[in-house]
Structure 1
């Protein structure tokens, strides 16, 4: 077809189907944590913490963990074990 055009571009594509890819593209705090919610951290690094904003969550001493709450499910697991969660959910 003559009405087709191609534009070469680098859009930084990342499949957000995993916690790892979400971590890679998300804004991080001074301790490399991705924070979404009403969360206080201490001695916590490299983690993803996502909880409802109406709940205060305090996290102490985690390194490279996922802490996420959705509906009535609370997920807490090491980031490098994220694929293992599929066995339970």
Structure 2
């Protein structure tokens, strides 16, 4: 029981180490307070739709980025599940 109360106290004081962009911080603060505006939702939805890049298939990669073919020894090693 004491452990649970200690964990709750430390979890409440925890500050995330990752720094986000200013816009996302404002949305996070608004979400914590429970007052998220519709404008904030529209901004985040439109920015997510704007970042749409084409997918590169494996056959389109240059040779230097392609995987090396597996030897028969490597295939046996993988199928065995590791060292013998």
TM-score by length of 2: 0.24
Quick check: which one's helix share is greater? 2
| Bigger RCO (CA 8 Å, 6+ sep) | 1
User: Which one has a bigger Cα radius of gyration?
Assistant: 2
Quick check: which one's strand share is greater? 1
